[in-house]
Amino acid sequence: MLTLGNLKIIKLLGSRWKHLIVIGVLAIIAGVIISSPLFMKPKYKSESVVYPSNLGPYSMESPTEQLMQLFQSRELKMRILAEQKLWQNYNLDTADAMFDFNFNAIFDEHVKFNQTKYESVIIEVFDHDPRKAQAINASILKNVDAMVRKMHDEKTREFLNMFSRQMAQKRKNIDSVDKVMNNLRSQYGIMDYRVQVKEASKSYYKAIASGKSPAQLAALKAEMEKLEEKGGQFRVLDEMMHEEIMQYEGSKVEYDNKVRDLSKTFSYTTVVAKPNLPVKKAWPVRWLIVLTVTLSSLFLGCLFFIILDRIKKISVPDERS
């Protein structure tokens, strides 16, 4: 419901309609001029959409969150800075003590990474040159892939070194056990403990049954005692040898798998939409600037006329007195 005060304001502004039209027209002209390339150099937006792939698990982060961390990393910024010579693009002095701060601020203003509800990442690059915007966007995709590949290769080489050390230790253990077993073979004639004990027992009991001489029985018994004396040690060593060989072969399989991984070339992003070459400017939004300037000017004009009217009403009684 309109009050008396509101009606007076509307009546006042209605009496100033010509002035407000002039203000509006001038504001539109000013908005057009301000938003022109003379004052606001247009920027173009190159956009791409990617999904993460083959990243592997890290802590509790999802693959998309990992990809966002990589996009926002300092290493990626430095790679793009060097590859695209962005200090020239952004008019920065590399010798300036504030270079890093200024570059990061401008880069973050011109490059946007947004995670979508579909677990993809939208990359938006703004630049005065549409081809440069596309080139920076493509460079981001290429370098983030190279960064992940480098990280995975470094991790793979760590595993290679670990498995290589394990294999070397297992070979050393196998050689040590084999040396002791060879001594037992040469000194006591132990080749296959289980088979030899079985055969010696058969021979001994057959000799007893067939009535062999005491000397022959003593020789067979001495052979059995020799096997019993060193056979247990040989059996333990044989089991150790088997275990060491199994562990060596397991490490060798893992080592070979990592060597194959190192020779493969994986892609760590799936590009859904490649960086486009923009044809229309994305900034400034001219109609929005003109509308904002016009509405702001009209508001200030109305405010000015209301204040001016109040001042006149205050000054009139003073003059009469």
pLDDT tier for residue 226 given thresholds of 50, 70 and 90: low
Residue 184: closest CA among 244, 239, 245, 235? 235
Check pLDDT > 70 for residue 221.
no
pLDDT tier for residue 3 given thresholds of 50, 70 and 90: low
According to the model, what pLDDT value does residue 215 have? 61
> Reduced to 3 states, what is the DSSP secondary structure of residue 11?
helix
Check pLDDT > 80 for residue 176.
yes
Share of the chain above pLDDT 90, in %: 41
CA dihedral 304, 305, 307, 312 (to 10 degrees): 140
pLDDT tier for residue 229 given thresholds of 50, 70 and 90: low
Residue given tokens 């050689």 in the structure block: 175
According to the model, what pLDDT value does residue 214 have? 61
- Encode pLDDT of 178-193 as tens digits: 898 888 777 766 665 5
According to the model, what pLDDT value does residue 152 have? 87
pLDDT tier for residue 106 given thresholds of 50, 70 and 90: very high
pLDDT tier for residue 18 given thresholds of 50, 70 and 90: confident
- Encode pLDDT of 268-277 as tens digits: 889 999 999 9
CA distances to 28, 77, 161, 191, 236 from 195, in Å: 106, 70, 41, 9, 15
According to the model, what pLDDT value does residue 225 have? 58
User: What number is the average pLDDT over the span 82-86?
Assistant: 94
Contacts 24+ apart (CB under 8 A), 9-15: 9/306, 12/305, 12/306, 12/309, 13/302, 13/305, 13/306
CA–CA separation, 153 vs 230, rounded Å?
50
Chain centre to alpha carbon of residue 259: 23
Q: What is the mean pLDDT of the chain?
A: 83
According to the model, what pLDDT value does residue 74 have? 94
Q: Of the ranges 17-21, 99-103, 277-281, which one carries the lowest mean pLDDT score?
A: 17-21
Helices (H), 111-213: 130-188, 193-210
CA–CA separation, 67 vs 73, rounded Å?
10
According to the model, what pLDDT value does residue 271 have? 93
According to the model, what pLDDT value does residue 218 have? 57
